[in-house]
Amino acid sequence: MVTVYGAYGHTGRFVVAHLQERGFIPVLSGRDARKLEVLAGEYPDLEVRPASVADEASLDDALAGAAAVINCAGPFATTAAPVIEAALRAGIPYVDVAAEIEANADTFAHFADRARAAGAVIVPAMAFYGGLGDLLATAAMRDWTSADEAHIAYGLDSWEPTEGTRAAGKVSVERRGGRRVRFSNGRLEYHTDDLPTVQWPFPDPMGSRPVVGEFTMADVVTIPSHLSIPEVRTYMTTEAAAGVAAPAPSPPTAVDERGRSAQTFLVDVVVRSGDTERRAVARGQDIYAVTAPLAVEAVHRILTGQTRTSGVASAGELFDARDFLSALSPHITLELHP
């Protein structure tokens, strides 16, 4: 069994479905008992365990007998620490899909020593933002032990944020006091200057597109957590950035039997050392849907001993990046250059 906390959310539903596809038995959990009941109507054979992050006993009940927990419930500034604590008490691995930069940084800062001492595995940001970029950067590095820069350009043709994405973004903005964040000189820096718009040379057929520079995502936490790269920058196509900033954005609309939206993505990662560049590219459909195979593959590899370390670790440090990305071939198309 694998407990899915926040199982009724947009991403949580994808995770529940993919766990079943991979032969796992999901346990449906989360804070809203009514939403859990609705979801249980679609999965009558699955166990339902409501739990509040303010109630340790309910979290312990939610994780009892589970082999692992996947936390899909944002804002993770609220949920990550209590669910991690419950996982440590239960002695099981913890994986989350947090895109919140500060929440992910908190996980590394607050739990690294305890998790390492316990031999536990805690994986934050095992999602489209944070996890995929880290795997691509690690794969692109190959035999390099350090690089000067890493650039992660998100070529989304659109972005209809979920309610959870909007709520998490609001929390992040409040935590930063309205400031923006970048990773430069080997650390997170906060600033108030306007974000630049530049051209990014995406691979064909997308080609050169305007992107918002320093549209900073969770990669600025995951990549530097284990790779010696003092400058990590992320970029977002202007049409996707506009979708997030819309005053009343529409939620994603399903267009296929799997519930995926029509959104397509291209993630272009370039690492530079001196005058030499190495690149990794991933293409696919629906950033929320693709998070499910990322998180479930992580759980599978942890439970089958295909890990390189313990403690709090990002995807690129914990797993063989190229092999992990290859396992995602039904869901993403991967290119490594040169």
**Entry field: residues in the chain:** 338
- Binning pLDDT at 50, 70 and 90, where does residue 251 land? confident
Within 10 angstroms of residue 188's Cβ, the number of other Cβ atoms is: 17
Is residue 137 helix, strand or coil? Answer: helix
pLDDT in tens, 304-335: 999 999 999 999 999 999 999 999 999 999 99
Query: What is the distance between the alpha carbons of residues 55 and 70, in angstroms, rounded to a whole number?
Result: 18
- What is the CA angle 174-175-178, rounded to 5? 50
Query: What is the distance between the alpha carbons of residues 229 and 151, in angstroms, rounded to a whole number?
Result: 10
Global pTM reads 0.97
**Alpha-carbon distances of 89 from 3, 26, 84, 117, 242, rounded to whole Å:** 15, 20, 9, 13, 42
Query: What is the distance between the alpha carbons of residues 47 and 292, in angstroms, rounded to a whole number?
Result: 20
Least confident among 43-52, 193-202, 246-255: 246-255
Burial of 297 (0-12, 13-18, 19+ CB in 10 A): buried
pLDDT in tens, 40-75: 999 999 999 999 999 999 999 999 999 999 999 999
The amino acid sitting at 119 is G
Asked if residues 156 and 287 have their Cβ atoms less than 8 Å apart, the reply is yes
Burial of 122 (0-12, 13-18, 19+ CB in 10 A): buried
Q: Phi, psi (5° rounding) for residue 187?
A: -155, 160
Q: Tell me the two tokens of residue 247.
A: 């005053």
Query: What is the residue-averaged pLDDT of the chain?
Result: 96
Which residues touch 127 (CB under 8 Å, ≥6 apart)? 11, 96, 97, 98, 99, 218, 291, 294, 295
**Alpha-carbon distances of 22 from 5, 17, 26, 298, 300, rounded to whole Å:** 18, 9, 11, 12, 9
The CATH architecture annotation of domain 128-286+332-337 reads 2-Layer Sandwich (3.30)
Mean pLDDT, rounded, for 224-231: 98
- Binning pLDDT at 50, 70 and 90, where does residue 125 land? very high
- Classify 2-126+292-318 by CATH class: alpha beta
Check whether 249 has a pLDDT greater than 90: no
- Binning pLDDT at 50, 70 and 90, where does residue 245 land? confident
Task: Check residue 82 and give its pLDDT.
Answer: 98
Query: What is the distance between the alpha carbons of residues 237 and 212, in angstroms, rounded to a whole number?
Result: 6
Is residue 272 helix, strand or coil? Answer: strand
Question: In the chain, what percentage of residues exceed pLDDT 70?
Answer: 99
Residue with tokens 């596809």: 21
Q: Phi, psi (5° rounding) for residue 198?
A: -130, 175
All structural domains of the chain with their residue ranges: 2-126+292-318, 128-286+332-337
Task: Check residue 337 and give its pLDDT.
Answer: 84
Burial of 158 (0-12, 13-18, 19+ CB in 10 A): middle
Least confident among 46-60, 208-222, 244-258, 296-310: 244-258
- Binning pLDDT at 50, 70 and 90, where does residue 159 land? very high
Check whether 338 has a pLDDT greater than 90: no
